[in-house]
Amino acid sequence: MAKQFDVLVIGGGPGGYVSAIRAAQLGFSVACCESSPYADPKREPRLGGTCLNVGCIPSKALLHTSHLFSEAAHGFAAQGISVGTPAIDVPTMLARKNGIVDQLTTGIKGLFKKNKVTLLKGHGAFAGGGEGAWQVKIGEEVVEAKQIIIATGSRARHLPGVSVDNVMVCDNVGALDIAAVPKKLAIIGAGVIGLEMGSVWRRLGSEVTILEALPDFLSVADADIASEAARVFKKQGLDIHLGVSIGEVRTSPEGVSIAYTDKDGAAQQMGADRLIVSVGRVPNTDGLNAEAVGLKIDERGRIDVDAHCRTNLPGVWAVGDVVRGPMLAHKAMEEAVMVAERIAGQAGHCNLDTIPYVVYTHPEIAWVGKTEQQLKTEGVAYLAGKIPFMANGRALGMGDTTGFVKMLADAETDRILGVHIIGAGASELIAEAVVAMEFGAASEDLARICHAHPTLSEVMHEAALACDKRPLHF
Ligand code: FAD
Ligand code: NAI
């Protein structure tokens, strides 16, 4: 007889492992299947998905090391510290990163044990069934569950004709494992991965050229933030070309050659030692045998879900990168908790309007809610409060004064509609904005809350005061 569970989760990334843990906490018998061994030396499945293995966590480890290197090379002297010319030992940097990944992925296995979640090794695909009893084939065995949560995530989108070997031409997997600092690094796509990985290798000494198809830089962000970011990244030496069209990409043992058309339509050619292709991600829906059970997939290959992540099939849910909405780990985890709680008959929810976005460059970029251009397009009257980090004592003390906070509030109700930050600590500061927006706070509410001095959070306070044109320190 097939193994039976209340809940079977397909995929062990942030969407999958979190839904499995939350469902187990709520008293269900839960299994989670995971197919990918990533870089496990024993070829065992590794939990944590893209995020822990080849995404958020390893990239942030490399960003941290390269930031320290860059500070030692360019930042210390201004504070009277001399360390000579720093050198980077790339294998040590990569080993440290791999150690963090190992620690966290092993930790999730421990959390599964603690919560009595059964880990099943292998690729999961529907084998049949219907409401109350779905059969899923995992490797060679068929498992039955009343509820299925699909959390199969996404993989890098590749360009036609550009073959990725993850040595010379890398997607996110190879980009996190480049064995030596490339003299010249080319990147296709000036999105989040392009900017973060471009920053890592630029700080370590690579000449970095980023080729972006769109005519506008970072067009998903608030335009003010995007233009400040463009200025700062140019100063840092990221050579970003917008409006390009990629042509033939050829590799040889010596390097990579990329033909492209520039924004004026002129044919160009560039050579590089390595190429990173970071042009977005595609959801993992193939291989699920979705058609056999009639699971609805939308025109962009994502599983079709409602606001509570229900699919068109009873008792089948989908969360994370494989469904609509931003492809972010914290969004996947929010949906995961919501679904487990909904299965338990509770009122779990996930507010896609208050999902924060962070780009972990230096300075960091973070935002939540509407951009100024969105409010203009929607015809919403708004108040704007904008305060530079230059006016903040803590930022001055840290020698980290680039950037600003911009708060946007409804002109009638004063409710905060969006907060946009480029500057030191943006990834942490944005949490205050998320809390405020979740509770429907007004800029006046933040203006009346005491912020510790001297902290970067005072820039948030001043931006709230500036919405009412009464900043105290600017
Ligand atoms: P995934 O993490 O992709 O996990 C899906 C899992 O399912 C995988 O382990 C896969 O092997 C498994 N699987 C797939 N199909 C099957 C199957 N049929 N059977 C069994 N198992 C299956 N997000 C952030 O919020 N912050 C960041 O800083 C950040 N940095 C990133 C950096 C990089 C370089 C990349 C590539 C991504 C980054 N992301 C970041 C995005 C984040 O990694 C994803 O949004 C997140 O991992 C999505 O979680 P998920 O569970 O939906 O999917
Ligand atoms: P992205 O969507 O952020 O950026 C892709 C970029 O490539 C876009 O600017 C796009 O216009 C450009 N592009 C697309 N096709 C192109 C072509 N043919 N030629 C040139 N440029 C082209 O995707 P990216 O950087 O691959 O990252 C994937 C996803 O992973 C992100 O969208 C995000 O959801 C997640 N991520 C999140 C991070 C974070 O939260 N800090 C960090 C890294 C990734």
**Residue 161: inside a domain, yes or no?**
no
Query: What are the pLDDT digits (tens) for 412-428?
Result: 999 999 999 999 999 99
* CB 15 less than 6 A from any atom of ligand 1: yes
Residue from 43, 50, 364 whose mutation best tests the ligand 1 pocket (most atoms within 8 A of CB)? 50
| pLDDT higher than 90, residue 39 | no
Lowest mean pLDDT among 30-44, 225-239, 377-391: 30-44
- Residue at 164 is within a domain: no
- Tens digits of per-residue pLDDT, 341-389? 999 999 999 999 999 999 999 999 999 999 999 999 999 999 999 999 9
The pTM is what? 0.98
Assess whether 245 and 373 both reside in one domain: no
Closest ligand (CA of 55): 1
34 and 149: one domain? yes
Both 25 and 62 in one domain: the answer is: yes
Q: Which helix (H) or strand (E) holds 135?
A: strand 133-138
CB-CB contact of 458 with 378 (8 Å) = no
Q: What is the pLDDT of residues 303-337, one digit of tens each?
A: 999 999 999 999 999 999 999 999 999 999 999 99
Helix (H) or strand (E) holding 105: helix 90-115
Among 304, 276, 155, smallest CA distance to 208 is for 276
**E strand segments, 356-415:** 357-359, 364-369, 382-388, 404-410
Percent of the chain with pLDDT over 70: 100
Taking the C-alpha atoms of residue 124 and residue 15, their distance in angstroms, rounded to an integer, is: 15
Residue 359 CA to residue 218 CA, distance in Å, equals 11
User: For position 38, what pLDDT does the model report?
Assistant: 84
CATH code, domain carrying 402: 3.30.390.30
Query: 283 in helix, strand or coil?
Result: strand
Q: Do 87 and 221 belong together in one domain?
A: no
CA 14–ligand 1 middle distance (angstroms): 7
Q: What is the pLDDT of residue 37?
A: 79
Q: Are residues 11 and 139 in the same domain?
A: yes
382 located within any domain: yes
The answer on 149 and 13 residing in a single domain is yes
All residues at 6 or more sequence positions from 230 whose CB lies less than 8 Å from its CB, including other chains: 217, 218, 240
DSSP state of 72: I
Q: Is the pLDDT of residue 1 over 80?
A: no
321 belongs to a structural domain: yes
Q: Indicate which atom in ligand 2 lies nearest the CA of residue 189.
A: 7
Token pair 């490797």 is found at 139
- What values do phi and psi take at 341, rounded to 5? -70, -35
Residue 358 lies in a domain: no
Q: CA–CA separation, 356 vs 431, rounded Å?
A: 8
Q: Which of 64, 158, 451, 453 is catalytic?
A: 453
128-187 residue pLDDT tens? 999 999 999 998 999 999 999 999 999 999 999 999 999 999 999 999 999 999 999 999
What three-state secondary structure class fits 175? helix
83 Cα–ligand 2 center, Å: 36
Residues 112 and 55 grouped into a single domain: yes
Same domain (yes/no): 138, 19? yes
**Contact between 76 and 82 (Cβ < 8 Å):** yes
Please, how many CA atoms are within 13 Å of residue 448, restricted to the half-sphere of its CB? 5
| pLDDT at 43 (0 to 100) | 86
Which residue type is seen at 65? Answer: T
**Domain final position from 243, 258, 279:** 279
Q: How many CB atoms lie within 10 A of CB 252?
A: 9
3-state secondary structure of 113: helix
Please list, in sequence order, all residues whose beta carbon lies within 8 angstroms of the beta carbon of residue 205, skipping any fewer than 6 positions away. Answer: 88, 181
**Nearest ligand by distance to the CA of 332:** 1
pLDDT digits (tens, 9 = 90+) for 250-270: 999 999 999 999 999 999 999
Local confidence band at 2 (pLDDT 50, 70, 90 cut-offs): confident
Task: Confirm whether 241 is a catalytic residue.
Answer: no
Residues 195 and 301 in one domain: no
Say if 472 falls within a structural domain. Answer: no
**Quick one: 318 and 188 in the same domain?**
no
Verify that 140 and 68 share a domain, yes or no.
yes
Give the distance from CA 192 to its chain's centroid: 8
Within-domain flag for 139: yes
Q: Do 31 and 144 share a domain, yes or no?
A: yes
pLDDT for 121 equals: 95
Residue in 101, 150, 152, 331 to alter for ligand 1 test, most ligand atoms within 8 A of Cβ: 152
Find the mean pLDDT for residues 36-56.
91
Return the exposure string of 65-84: e unless at least 16 CB atoms fall within 10 Å of the residue's CB, then b.
bbbebbbbbeeeeeeeeeee
CA dist 279 and 268 (Å) reads: 20
Q: Shortest CA distance to 35 belongs to which of 9, 6, 4?
A: 9
pLDDT for 455 equals 98
Of 329, 353, 377, the residue at which a domain comes to its end is: 353
State the Cα–Cα distance between residues 392 and 251, nearest whole angstrom.
49
b/e 169-198 (16+ beta carbons within 10 angstroms → b): bbbbbbbbbbeebbebbbbbbbbbbbbbbb
Q: Which residues constitute the domain of residue 384?
A: 363-467
Total domains present in the chain: 3
Pairs from 24-27 (Cβ < 8 Å, separation ≥ 24): 24/115, 24/116, 24/117, 25/115, 25/340, 26/340, 26/341, 26/343, 26/344, 26/346, 27/344
Label the pairing between strands 238-241 and 245-252.
unpaired
Q: Is the pLDDT of residue 42 over 90?
A: no
Whether residue 473 lies inside any domain: the answer is no
Domain boundary among 227, 262, 279: 279
Distance (Å) from CA 459 to ligand 2 centroid:
29
Q: What is the CATH number of the domain that holds 207?
A: 3.50.50.60
